[in-house]
């Protein structure tokens, strides 16, 4: 029996398969299925060097290493999602009817042929819309339901939901993210609300890959996927400080790295510190602030002696996740590199405690006239500033993206002040539903926190002006107008009561 050698590329690896020409077809399919690590619902596609599809059969032509085939496992259920079962059912019934008509009459009447064509073209249309949904240009109803985080309590909180996210993440991670989405991902214009959890995990993987971390820092793909999934699992289902916030902060950090061309100033190790700190910076956030932790003397406040209890906890969680080799993205680094990353992440995550805001901003401000990228202290404070900016940057995003975030934040704040009232604890004034409104909380925050911080970073990177400063100024105008109108309406109501 003649043995064939087939060379093929799958998941970026050049593989080779051997089988006899009389090998059963099912065995040949199994062999490629295993090589592609495909699940039963995947469809295997083999392309030759011209990009033409070839049949995966024992008759597949042998080839050389330099004329390898390309093997892809395509998720058939992506298509099934867009094709409702009723449509499949109709197709089967039409097929049965066609066979019966041929048996009885001997030919297929025109009307039946037309119906078949209609069903086919309708199916194709649905499938093409599903494809657009992956590009982020269009969402089907189903995707909208899965992706729609409003209200945020709809996010999966049960292990079953997480398992589904895990499966979808691994399954989608072998598919290509379009160049258009990748480019968008590098800007503050990116709309997180369009994407469901599994898709955000894929996009986080894209960020690590596009910064070349896998190659430069020897991160194995499956370890990165395990790490990202564990990070996802350790965010809580709270209104604001949830996995979607983690995604947004990481995406903003990623955008800032590209927009400022930080790769030409910082070594990859420091860029990894920044992206990983962003990912981990709110791990296991309970939805109640440091002030609450300290006033209520929670276990976190006692464990960390009232010193940034939340941020210390987020760090501890991060290194807990990294403590298992199968999800430790730092495992192939030297001891010295690991210590560098650990110290950097702790510094950056602790810097997100807003109680340290003025101190850090002041330290950054004094470096401005003499900022030196080769000075370690300067680099360290810049890394902190970039994480701080990313953390509170919602208002730099388009209004349609930013405004729902403010609703989520106020929901979390109001929950806290309600609990404070119930427990007889001091009520944090800017969280009190009886004292604040959307415009009043934002105008002060933008004027006294965001603009001074963003202006300082823009001095070092003037190119950021259009990306973060201009939109925040616009948001200030928007909320100032809203505040004025609300005030006028209130005055009018009071006048009418007199």
Residues that bind ligand 0WF (CB under 6 A): 354, 392, 394-395, 406, 409, 430, 441-442, 444-445, 448-449
> Taking the complex as a whole, how short is the minimal distance between the CB of residue 441 and ligand 0WF, in angstroms?
4
Is 314 among the residues known to form the active site? no
Residue 172 CB coordination number (10 Å)? 19
- HSE of 197, CA atoms in CB hemisphere, 13 A: 25
71 binds, among Zn ion, ligand 0WF, none (CB under 5 to 8 A by kind): none
> Taking the complex as a whole, how short is the minimal distance between the CB of residue 389 and Zn ion, in angstroms?
12
Q: How far, in Å, CA of 329 to CA of 322, rounded?
A: 7
Catalytic, out of 166, 171, 241, 314: 241
Q: How far, in Å, CA of 232 to CA of 200, rounded?
A: 10
CB-wise, 130 or 391, nearer to Zn ion? Answer: 391
> Taking the complex as a whole, how short is the minimal distance between the CB of residue 405 and ligand 0WF, in angstroms?
7
Q: Which residues bind Zn ion (CB under 5 A)?
A: 282, 391
CB-wise, 45 or 357, nearer to ligand 0WF? Answer: 357
User: Please, what is the Cα angle at 239 between 254 and 308, to 5 degrees?
Assistant: 70
User: Please, what is the Cα angle at 434 between 429 and 436, to 5 degrees?
Assistant: 60
Assess contact for 50 and 14: CB atoms under 8 A. no
Closest CA to 32 of 49, 54, 52: 54
Assess contact for 21 and 58: CB atoms under 8 A. yes
Q: How far, in Å, CA of 405 to CA of 251, rounded?
A: 15
C-alpha distance from residue 274 to each of 106, 147, 271 (Å): 71, 27, 5
CB-wise, 75 or 408, nearer to Zn ion? Answer: 408
> Taking the complex as a whole, how short is the minimal distance between the CB of residue 427 and ligand 0WF, in angstroms?
14
- Beta strand 42-47 with 13-20 is unpaired
CB-wise, 190 or 208, nearer to ligand 0WF? Answer: 190
Residue with tokens 């208002």: 395
417 binds, among ligand 0WF, Zn ion, none (CB under 5 to 8 A by kind): none
> Taking the complex as a whole, how short is the minimal distance between the CB of residue 352 and Zn ion, in angstroms?
6
430 binds, among ligand 0WF, Zn ion, none (CB under 5 to 8 A by kind): ligand 0WF
282 binds, among ligand 0WF, Zn ion, none (CB under 5 to 8 A by kind): Zn ion
CB-wise, 144 or 428, nearer to Zn ion? Answer: 428
Active-site residue numbers? 241
């Amino acid at each position: 029996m003649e043995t064939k050698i087939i060379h093929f590329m799958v998941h970026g690896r050049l593989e080779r398969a051997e089988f006899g020409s009389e090998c059963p077809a099912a065995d040949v399919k199994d062999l490629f299925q295993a090589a592609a690590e495909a699940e039963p619902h995947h469809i295997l596609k083999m392309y030759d060097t011209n990009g033409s599809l070839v049949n995966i059969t024992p008759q597949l032509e042998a080839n050389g290493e330099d004329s390898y085939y390309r093997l892809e496992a395509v998720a058939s259920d992506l298509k099934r999602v867009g094709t409702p079962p009723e449509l499949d059912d109709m197709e089967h019934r039409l097929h049965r009817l066609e066979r019966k008509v041929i048996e009885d009459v001997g030919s297929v009447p025109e009307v039946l042929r037309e119906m078949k064509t209609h069903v086919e073209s309708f199916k194709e249309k649905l499938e093409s819309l599903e494809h657009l949904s992956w590009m982020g240009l269009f969402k089907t109803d189903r995707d909208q339901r899965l992706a729609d985080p409003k209200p945020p309590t709809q996010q999966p909180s049960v292990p079953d939901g997480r398992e589904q996210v895990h499966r979808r993440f691994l399954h989608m991670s072998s598919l290509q993210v379009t160049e258009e989405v990748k480019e968008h991902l590098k800007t503050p214009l990116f709309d997180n609300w369009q994407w469901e959890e599994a898709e955000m995990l894929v996009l986080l993987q894209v960020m690590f890959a596009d910064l070349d971390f896998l190659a430069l820092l020897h991160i194995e793909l499956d370890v990165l996927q395990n790490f990202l999934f564990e990070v996802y699992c350790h965010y809580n289902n709270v209104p604001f400080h949830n996995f979607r916030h983690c995604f947004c902060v990481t995406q903003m950090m990623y955008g800032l790295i590209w927009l400022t061309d930080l790769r030409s100033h910082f070594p990859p190790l420091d860029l990894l510190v920044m992206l990983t700190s962003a990912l981990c910076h709110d791990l296991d956030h309970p939805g109640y602030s440091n002030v609450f932790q300290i006033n209520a003397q929670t276990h976190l406040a006692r464990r960390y002696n009232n010193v940034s209890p939340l941020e210390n906890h987020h760090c501890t969680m991060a290194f807990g996740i990294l403590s298992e080799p199968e999800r430790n993205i730092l495992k192939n680094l030297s001891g010295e590199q690991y210590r560098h990353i650990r110290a950097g992440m702790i510094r950056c995550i602790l810097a997100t405690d807003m109680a340290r805001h003025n101190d850090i901003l002041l330290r950054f401000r004094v470096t401005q006239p003499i900022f030196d990228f080769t000075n370690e202290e300067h680099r360290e404070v810049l890394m902190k500033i970039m994480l701080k900016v990313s953390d509170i940057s919602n208002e730099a995003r388009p209004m349609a993206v930013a405004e729902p975030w403010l609703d989520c934040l106020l929901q979390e704040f109001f929950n806290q002040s309600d609990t404070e009232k119930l427990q007889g604890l001091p009520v944090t004034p800017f969280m009190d539903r009886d004292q604040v409104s959307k415009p009043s909380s934002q105008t002060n925050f933008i004027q006294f926190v965001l603009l001074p911080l963003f202006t300082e970073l823009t001095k070092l990177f003037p190119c950021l002006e259009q990306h973060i400063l201009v939109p925040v100024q616009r948001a200030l105008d928007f909320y100032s107008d809203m505040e004025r109108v609300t005030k006028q309406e209130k005055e009018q109501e009071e006048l009418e009561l007199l």
